[in-house]
Amino acid sequence: MGALGLGSALANCINLSNLTLYLSENQIGAEGASGLGSALANCINLSNLTLNLDRNQIGVIGASGLGSALANCINLSNLSLYLNENQMGAKGASGLGSTLANCINLSNLALYLSRNQMGAKGASGLCSALANFINLPNLTLDLSRNQIGAKGVSGLGCALANCINLSNLTLNLDQNQIDNEVSQSLGPVLANCSNLSSLTLDLSQNQIGNKGASGLGSDLANCINLSNLTLNLQENKIGVEGALGLGSALANCCNLSNLKLNLQRQFFQFHKPALMNKSQKFKVISKCLKSKRLVIFQIQFD
């Protein structure tokens, strides 16, 4: 009754333009999420919405129902949706994406969908909907710990390729079984986002090696308007060769002024840490510092 009652009350607020709701960890479930969404659909003048339903067991039905309802909020321009740890799976993620694709006036979209067991199929389904946001300038997408793998990243890449007006992108793919293939699918797509000026990319706790790190750096070097880059590659399999290749490539980012790079805790076989000595670290730093416009530089090794 709690979420449904709240929704019924909100449905009467037809002139509401800004709304922030924090309802995490409340056992709302599928029925409550769908009911809340249906009520919000009546708020026809809603332009800014932040909705936190983290850890509420909304599942497949709740995610799809919520998305269907929000699709009716045709005036939404700013949407932040927190649905972490809700067991939505592949069907729920795809359903949410397909319905949100109708929110064609969005200028700022943030989706936090960590730990939802969506896999490659769910990630591809969700991201295929993102391909419709051709005018979207700002996107935050957290798909961490969803086991999307290389196929999921490939689907994501295809979608982002259509977001030609992206200028600010935050992408969290932490713990997703991503190996060197990431440089062959995601990297080139980011390079095609010609308007991208700010990128935060979290690929920590994956299986990216020297080849993947160097390839990713080379692709990012083609982002000609990139000025701010935060790249988290901690707990992968990147050795000295990969770190040097990455640094050399990033130095070619002609407009890069702010670089934050995390290479902490790299592991090889048998989970043994790969530690760089001072000389090797200095070489990596020297490679990065060759970037002519760099003003702010931070790097973490151990």
3-state secondary structure 40-59: HCCCCCCCEEEEECCCCCCH
DSSP element (H, E) containing 90: helix 89-100
The DSSP letter of residue 270 is G
Cα(215)–Cα(218) distance, integer angstroms? 5
- Of 49, 58, 63, nearest to 24 by C-alpha is 58
Residue with tokens 């592991």: 267
CATH topology of domain 2-300: 3.80.10
Q: Give me the pLDDT at residue 209, please.
A: 92
Contact yes or no for 25/52 (Cβ under 8 A): no
Strands 48-52, 198-202: pairing is unpaired
Cα 246 to Cα 248: distance, rounded to the nearest angstrom? 6
Helix (H, G, I), strand (E, B) or coil at 164: coil
Q: What is the pLDDT of residue 272?
A: 66
Specify the pTM: 0.94
**CA-to-CA distance for 151 and 156, rounded, in angstroms?**
9
Show pLDDT as tens, one digit a residue, over the chain (302 residues): 567 678 677 877 878 999 999 999 999 999 889 888 888 888 888 999 999 999 999 999 999 888 888 888 888 999 999 999 999 999 999 989 888 888 888 999 999 999 999 999 999 889 888 888 888 999 999 999 999 988 898 888 888 888 889 999 999 999 998 988 777 778 888 888 889 999 999 999 999 999 999 999 999 999 989 999 999 999 999 999 999 999 999 999 989 999 999 999 888 655 667 678 899 999 999 999 988 889 999 999 97
Give me the residue spans of the domains in the chain.
2-300
Q: Enter the tokens of residue 259.
A: 């670089």
For residue 86, the model assigns a pLDDT of 96
Read off the pLDDT of residues 61-108 as tens digits, 9 standing for 90 and up.
999 888 888 888 888 999 999 999 999 999 999 989 888 888 888 999
Amino acid at 27: Q
